[in-house]
Amino acid sequence: MSKNNIAKLTLDSKHPPPLTEAQHSRLSALAALPDDQIDTSDAPFRPDAVWMKAAEQLPHTKKQITLRIDAEVLDFFKDSGKRYQSRMNAVLRSYVDSHKAHAK
């Protein structure tokens, strides 16, 4: 496949595209269901941790080190795509910031 066949799209999370009538109907039907009747088996696990927003602000100054990480943890971040090391750093940064805030 040539580069001419590649299309890049960027979604602005602050200004999402408008919902279609079908999407609006499906969301309304879902909103009317009690929580225990919603099938979430295909949804990825998303803990309610503060650090989930960590990737929004990645630090710019970093120090190269050698670090031993569980294989499962490393695979999780690598499977999430490019810049996985920056995302790992952002999660750790958020953890540190959260603990500094509680220490005050």
Q: Which residue ranges make up each domain of the chain? A: 54-104
pLDDT at 24: 93
**Over residues 50-67, mean pLDDT:** 70
Q: Does the reported pTM lie above 0.85? A: no
Using alpha carbons, select from 76, 104, 99, 100 the residue that is nearest to residue 88: 76
Using alpha carbons, select from 100, 11, 16, 6 the residue that is nearest to residue 50: 100
Q: What span, in angstroms and rounded, lies between the C-alpha atoms of 21 and 23?
A: 5
What confidence tier does 49 reach under pLDDT thresholds 50, 70, 90?
low
pLDDT at 99: 82
**Lookup result for tokens 């109907």:** 25
**Over residues 35-57, mean pLDDT:** 70
